[in-house]
Amino acid sequence: MSGREENQQLPGTGLIAILGAGSLGRLWAGYLSAGKVAFVPRHGSADVSGADSLSYRLQRFDGSAASVSIPWLTSSSEQPSVLLVTTKAGDTLGALESRLPELPCDTPIVLFQNGMGSQQAVAERWPRRPILAASTTEGANRPQQGQTVHAGRGETRVGALTDRARPFVKPVVQALAASGLKVHAEPDIRQRLWDKLIVNAGINAFTAILNCRNGDILNSRFYLERIDDLCAEIAAVLEAEGGRPLTPAMIRERIETVAQSTANNTSSMLSDRQKGRTTEIDFINGYVARRGQAHGIEVPVNQMLTERVQQLSADPEAGRPGNQNKPGAS
Ligand X SMILES: NC(=O)c1ccc[n+]([C@@H]2O[C@H](COP(=O)([O-])OP(=O)(O)OC[C@H]3O[C@@H](n4cnc5c(N)ncnc54)[C@H](OP(=O)(O)O)[C@@H]3O)[C@@H](O)[C@H]2O)c1
Least Å distance, CB 252 to ligand X, is: 23
- Sequence-ordered list of residues with C-beta below 8 angstroms from that of 47, at least 6 positions apart, any chain: 21, 39, 41, 72
Which range binds ligand X by CB under 6 A, 91-99, 158-166, 215-223, 244-252?
A: 91-99
90 lies in the site for ligand X, by CB under 6 A: no
Which range binds ligand X by CB under 6 A, 23-31, 71-79, 211-219, 288-296?
A: 23-31
Residue of the chain from 117, 139, 286, 292 that contacts ligand X (CB under 6 A): 139
21 lies in the site for ligand X, by CB under 6 A: yes
134 lies in the site for ligand X, by CB under 6 A: no
At 81, phi and psi to the nearest 5?
Answer: -85, -25
Least Å distance, CB 41 to ligand X, is: 7
Candidates 170, 196, 275, 326; catalytic one? 196
227 lies in the site for ligand X, by CB under 6 A: no
Residue of the chain from 36, 57, 91, 241 that contacts ligand X (CB under 6 A): 91
Residue of the chain from 8, 17, 18, 20 that contacts ligand X (CB under 6 A): 20
Of 87 and 303, the one with the shorter C-beta distance to ligand X is: 87
8 lies in the site for ligand X, by CB under 6 A: no
Residue of the chain from 35, 94, 180, 328 that contacts ligand X (CB under 6 A): 94
146 lies in the site for ligand X, by CB under 6 A: no
Helix/strand/coil (H/E/C) assignment for every residue in the chain: CCHHHCCCCCCCCCCEEEECCCHHHHHHHHHHCCCCEEEECCCCCCCCCCCCEEEEEEECCCCCEEEEEEEECCCCCCCCCEEEECCCHHHHHHHHHHHHHHCCCCCCEEECCCCCCHHHHHHHHCCCCCEEEEEECCEEECCCCCEEEEEECCCEEEEECCHHHHHHHHHHHHHHHCCCCCEEECCCHHHHHHHHHHHHHHHHHHHHHHCCCHHHHHHCHHHHCCHHHHHHHHHHHHHHCCCCCCCHHHHHHHHHHHHHHCCCCCCHHHHHHHCCCCCCHHHCHHHHHHHHHHCCCCCHHHHHHHHHHHHHHHCCCCCCCCCCCCCCCC
* Residue with the CB atom nearest ligand X in the bound state: 22
CA atoms of 27 and 161, how far apart (whole Å): 24
282 lies in the site for ligand X, by CB under 6 A: no
- Region 35-54 residues binding ligand X, contact defined as CB under 6 A: 42
Residue of the chain from 10, 16, 23, 168 that contacts ligand X (CB under 6 A): 23
Of 8 and 23, the one with the shorter C-beta distance to ligand X is: 23
Of 191 and 278, the one with the shorter C-beta distance to ligand X is: 278
Q: Using an 8 Å Cβ cutoff, are 138 and 156 in contact?
A: yes
117 lies in the site for ligand X, by CB under 6 A: no
Residue of the chain from 81, 136, 162, 267 that contacts ligand X (CB under 6 A): 136
Which range binds ligand X by CB under 6 A, 29-37, 123-131, 136-144, 235-243?
A: 136-144
Least Å distance, CB 82 to ligand X, is: 17
Maximum distance among all Cα pairs of the chain, rounded to whole angstroms: 62
Q: Using an 8 Å Cβ cutoff, are 273 and 316 in contact?
A: yes
Of 20 and 108, the one with the shorter C-beta distance to ligand X is: 20
- Region 58-87 residues binding ligand X, contact defined as CB under 6 A: 86-87
Active site residue 182: no
Q: Using an 8 Å Cβ cutoff, are 68 and 88 in contact?
A: no
Interface with ligand X (CB under 6 A): 19-25, 42, 86-89, 91, 94-95, 112-114, 136, 138-140, 268, 280
The residues annotated as belonging to the active site are: 196
